[in-house]
A = this chain, B = another copy of it.
Amino acid sequence: MASTPVALRRLMESFAALPGIGRKTAQRLAFHVLDMPGDQAEGFAKAILEAKASIHNCKICQNFTDREICPICDSPDRDRSVICVVEDPKDVMAFERLQEYHGLYHVLHGLISPLDGIGPDSIKIKELLMRLQDGAVKEIIMATNPTIEGEATAMYISKLLKPMGFKVSRLAFGIPIGGELEYADNVTLNRALENRTEL
């Protein structure tokens, strides 16, 4: 609208460019920023710039960090014989929330997806192979999502590592705990049947 100031329109567009933020929500958020105290808005802008400036990939596991080597790779309390391979840093956060996994991680920053032109060289597989050279790692857990790309990537890496003598495992997929059989989709149900365990 002609009566909307340029700076306000630009702020709304910035919000609308974020994933899952529609036109209406973008408008609401922009107006909220205008209603904020000045120092809070400044803090928000600074948080964006500082996060962008200080955060990069860990030299070893490729997870986001503000140091050269992230606290997980650097920790003496971690089990260095297991690496959990995930698609992106959000997945590391999900596992860390559990507080049950004490091994290391490797973040691929993507999945192999030939249709999108993403081959094995476009994601951090080379960096994973480099890490395995010192012989400390015994098991690699493939924890990519159960999507076509996630499965293909897990398969690809597994085929690469198994001949080298590593144990390669995959997360279990099946009926979620608390879920009901009746409502499970066919693919999930089928997977749960295939991967049934002995009691």
- Asked if A72 is at the interface of the complex by the 8 Å CB criterion, the answer is yes
Interface 0/1 of A26-53, CB less than 8 Å to B? 0111111110101011111111111111
> A6 contacts which chain B residues (CB < 8 A)?
66
Contact B10–A50 (Cβ < 8 Å): yes
In the assembled complex, the Cα of A47 lies from the Cα of B65 at a distance in Å of 26
CB distance from A13 to the nearest CB of B (A): 8
Contact A30–B51 (Cβ < 8 Å): yes
Partner of A18, one of B29, B53, B55, B96: B29
> A53 contacts which chain B residues (CB < 8 A)?
7
- Asked if A20 is at the interface of the complex by the 8 Å CB criterion, the answer is yes
- Asked if A177 is at the interface of the complex by the 8 Å CB criterion, the answer is no
In the assembled complex, the Cα of A131 lies from the Cα of B96 at a distance in Å of 60
Partner of A51, one of B7, B40, B52, B55: B7
- Asked if A147 is at the interface of the complex by the 8 Å CB criterion, the answer is no
- Asked if A97 is at the interface of the complex by the 8 Å CB criterion, the answer is yes
Chain B residue at minimal CB-CB distance from A63 = B3
Copies in the complex: 2
In the assembled complex, the Cα of A105 lies from the Cα of B71 at a distance in Å of 56
Partner of A3, one of B41, B51, B52, B71: B71
> A60 contacts which chain B residues (CB < 8 A)?
none
| Dominant SS among interface residues on chain A | helix
In the assembled complex, the Cα of A46 lies from the Cα of B6 at a distance in Å of 13
Residue of A20, A49, A90, A96 ringed by the most chain B CB atoms within 10 A: A49
Do A41 and B34 form a contact, CB below 8 Å, given A5-B66, A72-B3? no
Q: For the A-B complex with A8-B66, A34-B52 known, give 16 more contacts whose Cβ atoms are closer than 8 Å.
A: A1-B93, A1-B96, A5-B55, A5-B64, A5-B67, A7-B47, A7-B51, A11-B48, A11-B51, A14-B48, A17-B44, A30-B51, A33-B51, A33-B52, A34-B89, A45-B46
